Amino acid sequence: MNKFNNRFNTAKWPLLIATFLLASTFPTTPTVTQAAEQTAGNTSVNTSASVTAPTLSAGFTDELNQFDPVRWYKANGWGNGPGFGAGWRADHIEFLGDDIETKNKVMALRLDNDPCPTGCANKAYASGEYFTTQKYGYGRVEARIKAAKGDGLVTSLFTYSGGSGPADEIDIEILGKDTTKLETNYFTNGVSAHGKIIDLGFDASEDFHDYAFEWSATSIKWYVDGKLVHTETGARGPLPTKPSHIMVNLWPGAGPTESWTKPFVYNGKPIRAYYDWIKFTPENELNTPQP
């Protein structure tokens, strides 16, 4: 049980996230138009007439070659609770050329101290958080990720229900203090204590790898490079049921989370976590043989 102690000690931080997101990020179910307005700043953008928002049952694969304001929000101009050392800024989400031959690009979440603290919600650092405008239900959430290395850092892929009341959440977290490990977790109605630390057998900061979880009414199964690494069945507490946003972020621990993340020390150079693609497959398509 000792290996879970750090997580238990910081079990309150998700509540801080929840409290903030409920108040600021998800005051109501966001619309596509609101997403465009939020991310476009002062630029007038009206996408509502020409787009069809994905539904709960619609899967997607986003190659992350450019910002898609229909599917995604860039968090901008706020910070979470005291456990988070960075405020979110849209300009800390980058789309970078990766391979000239294939034209593949990757999305980078950049953590630095520009222009902090005044432009970073009074946090010492700024970073990126990218999350779907719509909510998704049971199915497979996956991404190809190269994590950030260094004490204090967290690179994530997760679902978060938002809305009113305590939130549901399913997590993949790679802590920069030891990028040879993956931490899985879930929250149901804000209640955690379902953490698990997985040995990856590689350093997640050295190359891209595929990370996934399959969420159903009866289980959550986490996968790394297509291999099942952990299963939760609800035996340790009810499984999440609420449709949720799919989210990624990079952040430094602070205050109450430092016992889990280790304290973050900035060396003056921007730090990035990289995402090559993000994919969602609804549950009813998971057993379809692939061509």
List contacts with Ca ion (CB under 5 A): 63-64, 104, 276-277
Q: What are phi and psi of 215, to 5 degrees?
A: -110, 125
Annotated catalytic, 232? Answer: no
Closer CB to Ca ion, 18 or 64, in the complex? 64
Closer CB to Ca ion, 173 or 276, in the complex? 276
DSSP class of 133: S
Closer CB to Ca ion, 84 or 277, in the complex? 277
Q: What are phi and psi of 96, to 5 degrees?
A: -115, 145
Closer CB to Ca ion, 183 or 276, in the complex? 276
Q: What are phi and psi of 145, to 5 degrees?
A: -130, 145
CB atoms within 10 A of CB 188: 20
Helix (H) or strand (E) holding 79, with range, is: strand 78-79
* Angle value at C-alpha 73, between 94 and 205, nearest 5 degrees: 45
Closer CB to Ca ion, 48 or 104, in the complex? 104
* Angle value at C-alpha 271, between 100 and 157, nearest 5 degrees: 80
Q: Which one is catalytic: 129, 142, 173, 232?
A: 173
Min dist CB 107 to Ca ion, Å, is 7
Q: What is the amino acid identity at position 275?
A: Y
Helices (H) and strands (E) in the chain, counts: 4, 18
Closer CB to Ca ion, 104 or 259, in the complex? 104
Min dist CB 59 to Ca ion, Å, is 17
Min dist CB 32 to Ca ion, Å, is 23
Alpha-carbon gap, residue 165 to 135, rounded angstroms = 16
Min dist CB 68 to Ca ion, Å, is 12
Min dist CB 279 to Ca ion, Å, is 11
Min dist CB 104 to Ca ion, Å, is 5
> What is the distance between the terminal CA atoms of the chain, rounded to a whole angstrom?
43
Q: Which of 34, 35, 71 is nearest to 279 (CA)?
A: 71
Q: Which one is catalytic: 37, 129, 169, 214?
A: 169
Annotated catalytic, 173? Answer: yes
User: Residue 137: CB partners within 8 Å, gap ≥ 6?
Assistant: 56, 57, 243, 282, 283
Catalytic residues: 169, 173
